[in-house]
Amino acid sequence: MADREENQVIELTATTSHLPELLHRLEEGWQIEEPLLQRSIMHGLDGRRLVLETVIRKGRERYVIALGDEPEVQDFVAQRGLWLLEV
């Protein structure tokens, strides 16, 4: 029987920043898979919001973490020189 890869999506919520979760996982040895996908989504009554979907991998496991387009996230992306793909 072939090994199955584990995949999980961590969803974006209006009140939660997922950057600390991403940084914690990177400290645990997870790696970012580029490109980060930049999407414009509907966000309640506030209208549209940019979201960066970030795939991280450790061994055969993968997670998708959605990050809001916040100054801290923009700084993180710029400091690491990560490739963004607008979809």
For residue range 6-22, list pLDDT tens digits in order. 665 555 444 457 899 99
Q: How far apart are CA 26 and CA 9, in angstroms?
A: 16
Annotated domain spans of the chain = 7-86
pLDDT tens string 9-68? 555 444 457 899 999 999 999 999 999 999 887 766 667 778 899 999 999 999 999 998
Q: What class, spelled out in words, does domain 7-86 have in CATH?
A: alpha beta
Amino acid code (one letter) for 39: R
Determine the pLDDT at residue 28: 96
Determine the pLDDT at residue 69: 84
Alpha helices in the chain (DSSP H): 19-27, 71-80
Q: How far apart are CA 8 and CA 85, in angstroms?
A: 21
Determine the pLDDT at residue 41: 77
| Closest by Cα among 22, 41, 19 to 87 | 41
Question: pTM, whole model, 2 decimals?
Answer: 0.74
| Closest by Cα among 2, 73, 78, 65 to 31 | 65
